Amino acid sequence: MTAHTASAARARTGGPKDDGPKIVEQIAGWVLVAVIAMLVTQLGLL
């Protein structure tokens, strides 16, 4: 049994999937960056 077949036989535990849409993660990350930047600017921390 190789490492690949051993990992394929493992049960999923509901964690993040590796085959999900990466563009959604990219958009969510940039939205978070924009929100933090607006918050910092509004609070006068910069």
Which of 42, 16, 21 has its CA nearest to residue 34?
42
CA of 44: how far to CAs of 10, 24, 29, 30, 33, in Å?
50, 30, 23, 21, 17
Mean pLDDT of 17-41: 89
pLDDT exceeds cutoff 80 at 19: no
pLDDT exceeds cutoff 80 at 27: yes
Q: What pTM was estimated for this model as a whole?
A: 0.53
> What integer pLDDT is reported at residue 29 of this predicted model?
95
CA torsion 28-32-38-40 (nearest 10°) is: -170
To 5 degrees, how large is the angle CA 41–CA 45–CA 46? 70
